[in-house]
Structure 1
Amino acid sequence: MNYGQPTFGSDDHLALPGEGRSNRRWWIIGAAILAVLIVIGAYFAMSGGKKDGAATAAAGGGKTEQLPTVSVAIPGRQASARIISATGSLAARREMPIGVAGEGGMVTRVLVEPGQWVGAGQVLATVDRAVQTQTGASLAAQVNVARSDAAIAQSELDRAQALVNRGFISKADLERKAATRDAAVARVRVAQAQLAEQNARTGRLDIRAPAAGLVLTRSVEPGMVISSGSGTLFRMAKGGEMEMRAQLSEADLVGLPLGVSAQVVPVGGDTAFSGEVWQVSPVIDPQTRQGIARIALSYNPALKPGGFASATIRRGSTDLPQLPNSAIQSDTKGNFVYVVGDGNKVVRRAVKLGEVSDNGVAIAEGLAGTERVVLSAGAFLNAGQKIKPVLQKTQG
């Protein structure tokens, strides 16, 4: 027997040394590749499932989206007083400047002070009248002379009438004596008129109040020489009545009725004085586009002519939407509210505010009253944001 010799056959495979180990290695490599392919397939399968789930969630997002719950209300329209705010100056309703009515002279006495009440015709100051007094005395003496002449002429006429019937005097002489009497009577009247004129001139030396009222200013002192060119010596408020001359825009003046009530507060004080509009200026200042509404006020020491004041004028009433303060927002663009629009999305709406009262804030412009208005949380919302509105009732 021969050992160690290979045997060959037609169908037999030639087994080389190390061939078994090589086959096992290829089996291991193949198994590793297969495992990697399985892992990759599983990864893509899982990724596809997540995408499908995300797409499904996106498709049904309306069911799972969380929207903020916001209280809204429909304000409607309520009767609201229309308030007009204005500023202006205080003045005497009827101011009376008082100066020299006569020829003037040197002031001897000043009898009143600013803030004093005086009656009609009361003497405010006196002027020296020494010359005028002597002139008046002279004219009074002339009146007496004229009266004496008239009396003599009347006596002569009476005697002539007694003699004419006896034939001692002609009718022509009688007529001459009657004319002499009439001339003497006329001279009496002339002298009386001259005396009255002088007395009137003398009386005009007194500076008198033309009507009862309150003395506002005094610009004369004893010893001053005054004349018709001296200007205003005193200023008075007739009856002590005051007024505020409120400056209003052209739009506010249109249709402003007389007699509407107003409240006036002088600057520096907190007391409101009641008055009413008694005159509306028919002229608009072309520069400022403003006019004057004059508000009549009763006398009060706190109302000082020339001072500044603010006023609120109640101009009737109108139906306006009313909202609580929490619904009003403001920024650099002005006041606004949020209303709920299509798809429950909030929409910014600019508004103009009216009167502020215990019931809330009247909306003068910007709302019809039928909108759903956000009552609160407006500061946390943005225009276009979608919300879940909850309707609430407003206080009527």
Structure 2
Amino acid sequence: MNYESRFSENGEAVGALSDEDARRKRRRTVIAAALGCAAIIGTAGYFFSGGDEKAAGSAAASADKSMPVVTVMVPGTQEISRIVSATGSLAARREMPVGSVGEGGMVTNVLVEPGAWVRKGQVLATVERSVQTQQLQQLSAQINVARADARLAQAELDRAQALVARGFVSKADIDRKAATRDSADARVRVAEASLAEARARTGRLDIRAPEAGLVLTRDVEPGQVVSGGSGVLFRLALGGEMELRAEVAESDLQNIRVGGTANVTPVGTNLTFPGKIWQISPVVNPTSRQGVARILLGYDKALRPGGFASVNIVSGTAVAPLLPESAVLSDGKINYVYVVDAGDKVVRRDVQVGQVADAGVSVLSGISGNERIVLSAGAFLNPGEKIKPVLAKKQK
């Protein structure tokens, strides 16, 4: 039997092992080494077996991160008003020029200012009439003379008729006295007519409003001498009604109708006034290729005749998708949008746009409204590019 001796660190023997003990010790060492190798191999196999899956997942994650995130919308359809936009000048719907209709004279007083409301027949200015007043007094005195002559002629006729039965007055004398009486009555009527004529002419010296309305301009001052040839002294707007004379393109004239509604915005204000088309020009300017649509407006101090204004005329309604302007692109020839297909790829779709307004752009053809439309990043995308779409939140 073999023995193995163990020695201490200083070389002294501390005991011995038998052959059996040595074999057991070697077996345990081999088993431990085998187990260690198996653990190493298993660990390596675990890592190597999962490497491909992790690499694939990492590649997929990188590809997913490289796709652009793009906001899209599904517009649907809605009823959209067709709008014709135009510009034009404000004016009185019916402007009334007022001048002197009498023989004229020196203006003594002007009674109204621009912006004043006047009624029919109201005096706007007076003209000096001292001469006419003397003429009226003279004609009035002539009427008194004529009436006195008529009374005398009637009295003489009555006395003559009383003497006819006694034979003191002939029938011929009665006829002459009756004619004298009739002539005196006629002279009374002539004098009265002359007085009425003079009064009418004197009354025409006053410059009056022909109808109720708003005074727009005043071109006369006290001391000014006026006559029938003096031109326009006042301008009035009949009833204060205003209008916009909108210049509409020839192609748009076919789409508007008398009675159509419109919204008018004077330049320099943020005010909008409702109006109604009451007349459309039957002719088109051959130079500008435009016609005039006259839009009736109520009175407002912001509506100043001669001013400039823009107008949106409602020419009907249509059911169509409505997109924000950022979603509609153009290549210089045609408008288009980007549609996202079922595979999240970008597809170009040519469209025909309609009305462009603050609410957006109406699309007349090219899309149905049920597609996913790229909202605002179209300029940075290419057809066929795959994206990561995010649906935009609907605004309340």
TM-score range, shorter chain: 0.7 to 0.9
How many residues end up aligned between the 2 structures?
Answer: 330
Deviation by residue 1:225-251 (Cα, 9 ceiling, x = unmatched)? 111111111111122111111111122
- Distance in 2 between residues matched to 1:280 and 1:175, nearest whole Å: 72
- For residues 385 and 135 of structure 1, do their structure 2 counterparts lie closer, same or farther at Cα, with a shift above 3 Å needed? same
Deviation by residue 1:53-90 (Cα, 9 ceiling, x = unmatched)? xxxxxxxxxxx9x9989787776653211112111111
The offset of 1:266, in angstroms, is 1.0
Match of 2:355 in 1: 354
Deviation by residue 1:251-298 (Cα, 9 ceiling, x = unmatched)? 222252222222111111111122222222222111111111112212
Match of 2:316 in 1: 316
CA contact (8 A) 1:78 1:322 kept: yes
Q: Does 1:253 align with 2:281?
A: no
- Distance in 2 between residues matched to 1:279 and 1:336, nearest whole Å: 38
Q: Which secondary structure state, in structure 2, belongs to the residue aligned with residue 181 of structure 1?
A: helix
Match of 1:178 in 2: 178
The percentage of counterpart residues that share the same residue type is: 58
Q: Does 1:96 align with 2:96?
A: yes
Write the mapping of 1:196-235 to structure 2, written as runs, cut at 5 A.
196-235=196-235
Deviation by residue 1:269-328 (Cα, 9 ceiling, x = unmatched)? 111122222222222111111111112212111111111111112223122332344421
Write the mapping of 1:239-388 to structure 2, written as runs, cut at 5 A.
239-330=239-330, 332-333=332-333, 335-338=335-338, 346-347=347-348, 349=350, 351-356=352-357, 360-363=360-363, 365-367=364-366, 369=368, 372=371, 374-376=373-375, 377-382=377-382, 385=384
Deviation by residue 1:22-63 (Cα, 9 ceiling, x = unmatched)? xxxxxxxxxxxxxxxxxxxxxxxxxxxxxxxxxxxxxxxxxx
Deviation by residue 1:193-243 (Cα, 9 ceiling, x = unmatched)? 111111111111111111121111111111111111111111111221111
Regions of 4+ moved over 6 Å: 66-74, 388-395
- For residues 348 and 151 of structure 1, do their structure 2 counterparts lie closer, same or farther at Cα, with a shift above 3 Å needed? same
Whichever residue aligns with residue 158 of structure 1, its letter is D
Q: Which secondary structure state, in structure 2, belongs to the residue aligned with residue 351 of structure 1?
A: strand
CA contact (8 A) 1:74 1:369 kept: no
| TM-score normalised according to structure 2 size | 0.73
Q: How big is the alpha-carbon RMSD for the aligned residues of Structure 1 and Structure 2?
A: 3.2
- Distance in 2 between residues matched to 1:225 and 1:81, nearest whole Å: 57
CA contact (8 A) 1:67 1:387 kept: yes
Match of 2:124 in 1: 124
- For residues 83 and 159 of structure 1, do their structure 2 counterparts lie closer, same or farther at Cα, with a shift above 3 Å needed? same
- Distance in 2 between residues matched to 1:98 and 1:309, nearest whole Å: 27
The offset of 1:346, in angstroms, is 3.1
- Distance in 2 between residues matched to 1:278 and 1:372, nearest whole Å: 42
Deviation by residue 1:71-121 (Cα, 9 ceiling, x = unmatched)? 877766532111121111111111111111111111111111111122211
CA contact (8 A) 2:338 2:346 kept: no
Whichever residue aligns with residue 172 of structure 1, its letter is A
Q: Which secondary structure state, in structure 2, belongs to the residue aligned with residue 230 of structure 1?
A: coil
- For residues 131 and 187 of structure 1, do their structure 2 counterparts lie closer, same or farther at Cα, with a shift above 3 Å needed? same
- Distance in 2 between residues matched to 1:290 and 1:231, nearest whole Å: 32
CA contact (8 A) 1:72 1:372 kept: no
Whichever residue aligns with residue 134 of structure 2, its letter is Q
The offset of 1:332, in angstroms, is 4.8
Whichever residue aligns with residue 374 of structure 1, its letter is I
- Distance in 2 between residues matched to 1:289 and 1:104, nearest whole Å: 46
- For residues 334 and 148 of structure 1, do their structure 2 counterparts lie closer, same or farther at Cα, with a shift above 3 Å needed? farther
- For residues 368 and 67 of structure 1, do their structure 2 counterparts lie closer, same or farther at Cα, with a shift above 3 Å needed? same
CA contact (8 A) 2:86 2:312 kept: yes
Q: Which secondary structure state, in structure 1, belongs to the residue aligned with residue 141 of structure 2?
A: helix
Q: Which secondary structure state, in structure 1, belongs to the residue aligned with residue 174 of structure 2?
A: helix
Write the mapping of 1:153-168 to structure 2, written as runs, cut at 5 A.
153-168=153-168
- Distance in 2 between residues matched to 1:336 and 1:151, nearest whole Å: 101
Match of 2:190 in 1: 190
Q: Which secondary structure state, in structure 1, belongs to the residue aligned with residue 232 of structure 2?
A: coil
- For residues 369 and 389 of structure 1, do their structure 2 counterparts lie closer, same or farther at Cα, with a shift above 3 Å needed? farther
Q: Which secondary structure state, in structure 2, belongs to the residue aligned with residue 303 of structure 1?
A: coil
The offset of 1:366, in angstroms, is 4.5
Whichever residue aligns with residue 106 of structure 2, its letter is M
Q: Does 1:238 align with 2:238?
A: yes
CA contact (8 A) 2:110 2:126 kept: yes
- For residues 152 and 371 of structure 1, do their structure 2 counterparts lie closer, same or farther at Cα, with a shift above 3 Å needed? same
Q: Which secondary structure state, in structure 1, belongs to the residue aligned with residue 287 of structure 2?
A: coil
Pick which of 108-117 and 322-331 moved more. Answer: 322-331
The offset of 1:185, in angstroms, is 1.0
- For residues 368 and 250 of structure 1, do their structure 2 counterparts lie closer, same or farther at Cα, with a shift above 3 Å needed? farther
CA contact (8 A) 1:340 1:371 kept: no
| TM-score normalised according to structure 1 size | 0.73
Structure 2 regions of 5+ residues with no counterpart? 1-62
Q: Which secondary structure state, in structure 1, belongs to the residue aligned with residue 309 of structure 2?
A: strand
Deviation by residue 1:129-149 (Cα, 9 ceiling, x = unmatched)? 111111121111111111111
